[in-house]
Amino acid sequence: GKAQIGVIGMAVMGKNLALNIERQGYRVAVYDWNSTYTKQVMKDHGDKNFVASYEMKDFVESIEKPRRILMMVKAGAPTDSTIQNVLPYLDKGDVLIDGGNTFFKDTMRRNKELENSGINFIGMGTSGGQKGALNGPSLMPGGQKEAYDLVAPILKQIAAKAPEDGEPCVAYIGPNGAGHYVKMVHNGIEYGDMELIAESYDLMKRVLHMSNAEIAATFNEWRHTELNSYLIDITAEILTRKDDLGTGKDIIDVILDRAGNKGTGKWSSQSALDLGMPQTLITEAVYARYISAMKKERVQANKVLPHPENQVPEVDKQETIEKIRKALYFSKIMSYAQGFEQIKVASDNYQWNIHLGELAKIWRAGCIIRAQFLQKITDAYDRDPELDNLLLDDYFKEIVTKYQSDVRDVVALAVRAGIPCPCFTSAVTYYDQYRSIDLPANMIQAQRDYFGAHTFERTDREGNFHYEWYPEE
Ligand code: 6PG
């Protein structure tokens, strides 16, 4: 019989999603423009309920109507060419899903173009890596709601289930680019979380002079605190692994400190700039990767730019470790507060009507940023679905009030010791900006008016004013 769904792209993500769908009892059509991939999948999984095709036309015809087709191909030009190749064989009402890490504006464009041909197009954020794809990812679909309803049963079955209530980690996010937008911010948050953990590691290593084993043990303990999360888990594990090339060293000590990126974190910051929203912590995390990549220049600079001479004060090790833990949680809260507020503003701007509480729910499992903490965000939006900023919620307000002095100690220690902690620093700065009645922007306005007659508003009356800064000229 015909397949109930098709998957285009038999690299690891597409293959694993196809296996996951098949496991739920579906017949799955599989295709890749490169037939070697498809052949390999059929060789390794010949016992599965797969229908393999080696021509796009055959592939499309092997699927029941209205067709549901999931594309797992590289973002950008390969996605456009795949759409062009499949389009001639599709019928009105078919649903095409792009599960890649696509830039949301591309999804908005494709959704519109395809809608003109009567084809439903869903841009779906897919998180959780290879293992997630196979065993339960977090899925963030955006596009026509009717089209979502056609694929929802399958997506709910393959998605991860939240440990708190067993709910599947998938929900309709909103029209056109909404799904890929939230996946982009998810990745920005992922960059922030990773950098915060890296800074914690660096302070334990370079200020407290702890061994990898000791740091691993610390992260292991943190798993049993409010920091419990996938990224803390893997960090603890990474620090226990030996080099596989037999040098006898820990693998972490032979990995070069130049971070890569595929651009999603950068897009998240770019969008924040476009919307006029402060996404400072994530942006610092993007910059931290960029500066790390300038390894040669850093090595040169180190020869001429000395380390601070001031003595780092004697600190109690256990106490400082606990302060770092609190700084990490405090900073994570700032990062999510910024990320969620950005999504709220983007949702208003693009008319997506994104439900932030639902979003927090589907990040509780399956995705890279999954954490116990996401339940706290879900709870906050349950209390107030219109919440402007997470810091205004009672739970978060209480935590940051309790932890703020610790994060200040950690940042001060890092600055004195000459250890860069851009994301910790950014977190405390944002906190102080956000809660300040007065900021020095009165001076900025005066300067703008002085040199460019850009005018300013006054504290005591309505309207725009200009001051005669040089009347005699
Ligand atoms: C996920 C990840 C995934 C991928 C990123 C990494 O949610 O499963 O975010 O999408 O790991 O592409 O991005 P960088 O290569 O930019 O670090």
Residue type, 424: F
Residue with tokens 């010949």: 46
CA distance linking residue 431 with residue 335, whole number of Å: 10
- Averaged pLDDT for residues 179-202: 98
- Averaged pLDDT for residues 119-133: 97
pLDDT of residue 308: 87
Q: Is 205 a catalytic residue?
A: no
pLDDT in tens, 295-331: 999 999 999 999 888 778 889 999 999 999 999 999 9
Delineate the domains of the chain, giving CATH numbers in brackets.
5-176 (3.40.50.720), 183-434 (1.10.1040.10), 440-473 (1.20.5.320)
ipTM (interface predicted TM): 0.96
Kindly state if the Cβ of 187 falls inside 6 Å of ligand 1.
yes
pLDDT of residue 311: 76
User: How many Å lie between the centroid of ligand 1 and the Cα of residue 401?
Assistant: 32
What confidence category does residue 207 fall into, taking pLDDT thresholds of 50, 70 and 90?
very high
What order of strands is seen across the sheet that includes strand 50-52? 50-52, 28-31, 5-8, 68-71, 95-98, 120-127, 138-142
pLDDT of residue 75: 96
Indicate which residue of 190, 195, 199, 341 is catalytic.
Answer: 190
Question: Residues annotated in the binding site, as ranges?
Answer: 101, 127-129, 186-187, 191, 262, 289, 448, 454
Q: What pTM does this model have?
A: 0.96
pLDDT of residue 473: 76
- Averaged pLDDT for residues 418-436: 98
pLDDT in tens, 359-395: 999 999 999 999 999 999 999 999 999 999 999 999 9
> Has residue 136 got a pLDDT over 90?
yes
pLDDT of residue 423: 98
User: How many Å lie between the centroid of ligand 1 and the Cα of residue 98?
Assistant: 16
Kindly state if the Cβ of 102 falls inside 6 Å of ligand 1.
no
